[in-house]
Chain A
Amino acid sequence: MPFPLAAIRFVLALIWLGLCLSPVEAGLSSAFAKIELNDGFAGSQIIVSSNNRDCTREATYLSDNPAVASVDTTGYVMAIGNGSTIVRVAHPDGKLEIRVKVAGVGAGGRSVDFRTEVVPLLSKLGCNAGGCHGKASGQNGFKLSLFGFDSDFDYAAIVREARGRRVFAASPDHSLFLLKGAGRVPHGGGKRLNPNSADYQVIRQWIVAGAPASAPDTPVVRKLRVTPSDHSLKRDSQQQIAVLAEYSDGSIRDVTRQSEFVSNLDVVASVDSTGLVKSHQLSGEAAIMTRHMGHVAVFRAMVPHGEPLTAIPEFKPINYVDELAVAKWKKLGLRPSPSVDDVTFLRRITVDVCGRLPTPAEVRAFIADSATDKRTKLVDRLLDSPDYPAYFALRWGSILRNSNLAGADQAAYAFHGWIKDNIARNRPYDEFVRGIIAAAGEWQDAPAINWYWQNRDDQLHQITADVAQIFLGVRLQCAKCHHHPYERWGQADYYGLAGFFTRLGRKSFGQPPPYFASPTVQSGERDPLTGKSPEPKYPDGDSPKFTSEDDPRHGLVDWMVKPENPFFARALVNRLWGHFLGRGLFQEVDDQRDTNPPSNPELLDALAKEFVAKKFDVKHMIRTIVTSRVYQLSSTPSEHNKDDRQNFARYYARRMPAEVFLDAVNQATSSKAGFSGVGTNGRAVDLPHEGFGSYFLDTFDRPKRVTVCECERSSGATLSQVLLLANSDEIENKIGAADGRVSKLVAEKKSIAESIEELYLSAFSRQPTDAEKNKTTAFVDQQANKQQALEDVLWALLNSKEFMFNR
């Protein structure tokens, strides 16, 4: 009989001392002075450093008594027999002695435990990955829980299903489980296990013992920790990390060799299966995720751009955004680009806030304005103009999938108007969100019900996923079917959130029909964990009770808008940051999770805190962001920041969204969009839904409002776009229109110089440089037909990157 597991288990696997207490010689240090291994399956990774630089793989290791503990060339120690010994570490910088005590091996020790030893192997070997037996449908009739988050399920699958053929104690090597894994019989996944490997032997030993289940009181993993948790690495250097699991009985165990590792940015830092992180030539930050038994932990690797800086005197912070950005740049040795010039700022802010180009008159006035606070005044003027709500209503309309499908033409106009009105009045964001999530009534009174109507086909699920992604910045949809592979979210969280919407009813007439909060459950969906209708539970929180009088959706909003809610405010400030800076502090802007850490957590927290303190005042947050010096940096990279893609040491230039770009073309050529139903001067940004046919907008990837994902807009350049811009009658007709910009200039008998200046002001929102004046004037002079020549200049401007990009 094996020993009672809980009694002898993992008394104390490791003693964490931070730094070595007794190096034999100065210089070298280890994270562990002493290692205790308390069963025959235990191992421990030694991490050795010298002068804050990892040298684990440079050192050599020798065990005084290999019959007690073995150590390999990577510094990984394994229990062999009971007793004590010393592992000697040698390196040019010094020597270390690490005492190793081994107990609980062999007779009297515990036997292989399914949950502790076998399940982690299923993850490590890839058996339970989403592409194999871990997917919802399993593979060839064998299904495991994804990444091993449900070991009871896995035990039943391996031991009880397939009429017990998967394990065969009498002849363990003939167990289907081992035959398949070792590739001795045809296996779709190929050979995953070498019969001589320790992994194979562990599984074999477990089968020989009769493939016992883990005892109910076997400790379970509660938390995973990586050591070190972060480190700054030079380029082309490395860092060994170790993974420690904390169990429900308080014990700690090294699970480095039983964990998987994934880098979120392996061009910056990659990781191998032993937990060795390597930096490469590119500076930046990478999050190395490690996963064990459905738990995740993150090691953050920072590869600085240069030596850490004590000060960046050329950058004078304007507000706390700048101060927090500087703090990060100093650590990274990152020097920002200089401030952007006035005219480029004018174009940038006008596009970002208003979704249009500045007019030539605005450019001239801004250049002429000598006030020192002219940028701040400009921001205020733009935020108070009708163009700000118009543009942001377009953005929100896409995110909220406002559409005229299913008879919702009038409702789509109404919802668009409702959004625009909320933004124009700067209605606090929490109230805006409540107006959507808790929408009820007829569409004429509550246009936001079109959000529910457009999601009607899969209402409960789509709404659940959208609420999480849009308003909490959390992608929960994975957890509908399985435990989220990179997060703590499970089906209980998903169905808990769905539980707030089960009582939403809709009438059987009208498009959209009236929606109402019913006292009884209206949805036929079942929570697969309970087999019953989903019950409300806050994500990562408790389960509130509601009376039949309550609308649980209000309860959900109440929870969301609480100042201490960790998701709500962060999601919105990050979305705004992403809009104005071209990349979220966490990216994508709606994918907030521990394994996707923000590039500047302090800045994210400060913005979120202020957003709460200012009672969800969106305009205030926009003002804070765009009046910062960070937003006002030049987009021209310097030697010091050319590799920066995460820390905003320069403004990241980007293409204009489809609607803004079409309006920009129309503005530069002085033509109209010509959409019907939005007024004669209606622009593309004014379109209330996606149902307005436009080859231009489709070609430039107007969102189809299919998904809430902001990344829907970020698709790259295409050949059709270029053919359209460079070689189409559509653009040609705008350039050469009888009432177009060039014709007007010619009709008004403007000089060539004046005309060229006007074209530059209209398209690039700036004066031409002397060189540009010379080139274009020479070009026009060479040609007999001045109108055609000016059209050619305008064509060249429209097809320039400077025109297409907001920079």
Chain B
Amino acid sequence: MLDIVGSRRSFLQVGSLALGGMTLPGLLRLRQAGAQSSAGRKKSVILIWQAGGPSHIDMYDLKPDAPAEVRGEFKPIDTNVAGIRIGEHLPRQAKIMDKLAILRSATHTNAGHGMGAQWMLTGYQPTIEVNDNIYPSCGSVAAKMNGPNEPGLPAYVNLPRSLNLGKAAYLGASFNPIAPDNDPNTDGFQVRNLKLPGKVPADRLSRRKELLDSLDTVRRDIDTKGDLIGLDTFYRDALEMVTDPKAQRAFDINKEPIKLRDTYGRNDLGQSCLLARRLVEAGVTYITVQAGGGWDTHGDNFKQLKTNLLPKFDQAVTALVNDLFDRGLQNDVLVMAMGEFGRTPKINGGAGRDHWPGAMSVLYAGGGLKMGQAIGTTNALAEYPTSKPASPGCVLSTMYHVLGIDHKHVFFDDAKRPMPILAEGEPVKELIG
């Protein structure tokens, strides 16, 4: 694990590697590290999405006293916060429990992947299993409400590829995420179409742009929706992003020290988390990170978790949280980890666990929230909350609270119905203090 001095050193190294004289926002923050107040700083969110449904009872809400067919083979371990115990296969997180908060009492009622995921990502329960979200995803809402924290960068990014149900729905495509559609753990990683195509050097692009400007003379007021003007804006932004190194540098994970890259884990999840940290420092407002696949552990749950899923997840989350705290970003950046539901307490015939929305755990870190606590309880079999039940609206409104977004703000959907950002739920009191 990195100590503070070490990480500062490595970060300064990044800053100087990046470009002489160029001040990264993170560098600025480092200089202000002594400051107590975080007022006025732009907030951002990194949501680690465990698609498939992570097993709450094997990770954050173990029930060692439950019957064998429920408790499973994992043992709880102590953390660095007295009284909070988590699963033995999250040993790194156990050591930084003071920088984490677990909400054990999240709950909803839909056990379908798509519908559950839409509920958790949008706050609204859809009535039909569909390919794309019907309601705006939280990232699109953040993009619409807050925009990017730094001009010239996108507001909403999906890593490493587009999140299935992470679109803008009726907010309009402008608030859809941009995704690299590439794995940051690969050598040649880059964002799709952000770098100049091989055949087109910068001077050729600028010649083309000049020609385009002289030929593209059709009147801009021939439509009724302002799309021609909007496109002009996007052309300006796009050609700026392509030629000005700011955005490319933000996405250039190779600028990170090798040691830090190793700390996060040399896999898609670890490197996406590291890239997410780079992006929030550069000024992206909202980032989702796909926590690999395979959380849908209908078969061989325990082996999948302990050999594959949890080690990667534990390493990446711990590295990210430590990195953010080391940089003094714990009040500005919220990290969350969750999936669409928990898993059945009762172990099935194939040593697996099935879909269980009745109880699930959500991990929060930073964002200026109160850390070092476990909130809510579930019954003896981890089936349902017995205290502080938190709906998807509660889970998300806590996040909007960090972003300074009024979750009752109303948008109009395509049918012109007034739709508040969230129709129900209030921030979890224990977290917002």
> Which chain A residues have a beta carbon within 8 Å of chain B's beta carbons?
130-131, 135, 137, 264, 405, 455, 457-458, 461-462, 475, 478, 582-583, 588, 591, 635-637, 642, 645, 650, 652-655, 690, 695, 701, 704-707, 709, 711-712, 714-724, 726-729, 732, 736, 772, 775-776, 779, 788, 792-793, 795-797, 799-802, 804-805, 807
Does B230 count as interface, using CB distance less than 8 angstroms? Answer: yes
Q: How far is the CA of A726 from the CA of B223 in the complex (A)?
A: 22
Chain B residues, CB < 8 A from A701: 173
User: Which chain A residue lies CB-closest to B225?
Assistant: A716
Are the CB atoms of B199 and A722 closer together than 8 Å?
no
Q: How far is the CA of A799 from the CA of B212 in the complex (A)?
A: 7
Are the CB atoms of B211 and A652 closer together than 8 Å?
no
Are the CB atoms of B215 and A800 closer together than 8 Å?
yes
Known: A718-B234, A719-B237. A591 touches B415 (CB 8 A): yes
Q: Which of B181, B197, B215, B242 contacts A776 (CB 8 A)?
A: B215
Known: A706-B130, A796-B216. A720 touches B176 (CB 8 A): yes
Are the CB atoms of B154 and A719 closer together than 8 Å?
yes
Chain B residues, CB < 8 A from A478: 417
Q: How far is the CA of A406 from the CA of B53 in the complex (A)?
A: 21
Are the CB atoms of A723 and B192 closer together than 8 Å?
yes
For residue B153, give the distance in angstroms from its CB to the closest CB of chain A: 11
Does B128 count as interface, using CB distance less than 8 angstroms? Answer: yes
> Which chain B residues have a beta carbon within 8 Å of chain A's beta carbons?
127-132, 134, 154, 168, 172-174, 176, 178, 181, 192-194, 196-200, 204-205, 207-208, 211-212, 214-216, 218-228, 230-231, 234-235, 237-239, 241-242, 408, 410, 414-418, 420, 423-424
Chain A residues, CB < 8 A from B215: 772, 775-776, 796-797, 800
Q: How far is the CA of A744 from the CA of B242 in the complex (A)?
A: 30
Q: How far is the CA of A635 from the CA of B228 in the complex (A)?
A: 13
Chain A residues, CB < 8 A from B220: 801
For residue B347, give the distance in angstroms from its CB to the closest CB of chain A: 28
Are the CB atoms of B193 and A130 closer together than 8 Å?
no
Are the CB atoms of A457 and B214 closer together than 8 Å?
no
Are the CB atoms of A724 and B193 closer together than 8 Å?
yes
Are the CB atoms of B172 and A653 closer together than 8 Å?
no
Q: How far is the CA of A805 from the CA of B227 in the complex (A)?
A: 10
In this complex, the member of B207, B239, B408 whose beta carbon has the largest number of chain A beta carbons within 10 angstroms is: B207
Chain A residues, CB < 8 A from B414: 588, 707, 709, 711-712
For residue A574, give the distance in angstroms from its CB to the closest CB of chain B: 16
Chain A residues, CB < 8 A from B226: 716
CB-based closest 3 A-B pairs = A715-B173, A723-B193, A653-B222
Q: How far is the CA of A638 from the CA of B197 in the complex (A)?
A: 41
Q: How far is the CA of A338 from the CA of B271 in the complex (A)?
A: 59
For residue A26, give the distance in angstroms from its CB to the closest CB of chain B: 45
Q: Which of B134, B219, B237, B424 contacts A137 (CB 8 A)?
A: B424
User: Which chain A residue lies CB-closest to B230?
Assistant: A717
Are the CB atoms of A718 and B174 closer together than 8 Å?
yes
User: Which chain A residue lies CB-closest to B200?
Assistant: A732
Q: How far is the CA of A23 from the CA of B211 in the complex (A)?
A: 70
For residue B334, give the distance in angstroms from its CB to the closest CB of chain A: 25
Q: Which of B127, B130, B228 contacts A805 (CB 8 A)?
A: B228
Chain B residues, CB < 8 A from A792: 204, 207-208, 211
Chain B residues, CB < 8 A from A800: 212, 215-216, 218
User: Which chain A residue lies CB-closest to B176?
Assistant: A718
Known: A135-B423, A717-B230. A775 touches B214 (CB 8 A): yes
- 16 A-B pairs within 8 Å (CB atoms) are namely A131-B420, A636-B219, A637-B219, A645-B224, A653-B223, A704-B130, A705-B131, A718-B234, A723-B241, A726-B242, A727-B193, A728-B193, A775-B215, A795-B208, A800-B215, A800-B218
Are the CB atoms of A801 and B231 closer together than 8 Å?
yes
User: Which chain B residue lies CB-closest to A799?
Assistant: B212
Chain B residues, CB < 8 A from A137: 424
Chain B residues, CB < 8 A from A793: 211
Q: How far is the CA of A547 from the CA of B87 in the complex (A)?
A: 62
Q: How far is the CA of A695 from the CA of B193 in the complex (A)?
A: 12
Known: A720-B178, A722-B231. A461 touches B127 (CB 8 A): yes
Are the CB atoms of A457 and B134 closer together than 8 Å?
no
User: Which chain B residue lies CB-closest to A718?
Assistant: B173
User: Which chain B residue lies CB-closest to A135?
Assistant: B423
Chain A residues, CB < 8 A from B207: 779, 792
Q: How far is the CA of A712 from the CA of B220 in the complex (A)?
A: 24
Q: Which of A457, A690, A802 contacts B216 (CB 8 A)?
A: A802
User: Which chain B residue lies CB-closest to A486?
Assistant: B416
Are the CB atoms of B238 and A652 closer together than 8 Å?
no
Are the CB atoms of A801 and B128 closer together than 8 Å?
no
For residue A412, give the distance in angstroms from its CB to the closest CB of chain B: 14
